[in-house]
Amino acid sequence: MAKAKKSAEVEIPERLYFRIGEVASLCQLPAYVLRFWETEFPQLKPIKSSTGQRMYRRKDVEGVLRIKKLLYEEGFTIAGARQHLRGEGKSDKKQSALPFPVHAVSDLKPIRQGLRDILTLLSARH
């Protein structure tokens, strides 16, 4: 029996979207497994096209490969893999920097007053 190709060895093409059949082929999984995993793992949320076709982004394909590795190579159960991924997401959030600078309250006072002035002007029109 041939040894399964490890998920780390999969090369994901540089594209914006992948159809479910393409992801199934890339990840060497049946499409029905991907559809099932969508119901079990909240991280896996491919968008749907106007025709209802599942369109996976690169991060979705990477997520599928991560799930496959946890289940097939590391021996996790579905519930265990879900919990493990949830824990990874929390630790990632703690380490990420804020996307905007933090301002002192005194810096916001002129902005707040400007917004009040605009609200007053708009309220006077009605």
Report the side by side order of strands in the sheet with 47-48.
18-19, 54-56, 47-48
Pairwise CA distance, residues 39 & 18, whole Å:
19
For the chain, domains (ranges, CATH) are 7-96 (1.10.1660.10)
- The model's pLDDT over 63-73, given as tens digits with 9 standing for 90+, comes to 999 999 999 99
pTM: 0.63
DSSP state of 73: I
Confidence of residue 10 (pLDDT cuts 50, 70, 90): confident
Tokens 């914006």 label which residue? 16
Confidence of residue 104 (pLDDT cuts 50, 70, 90): low
Tell me what pLDDT residue 24 has.
95
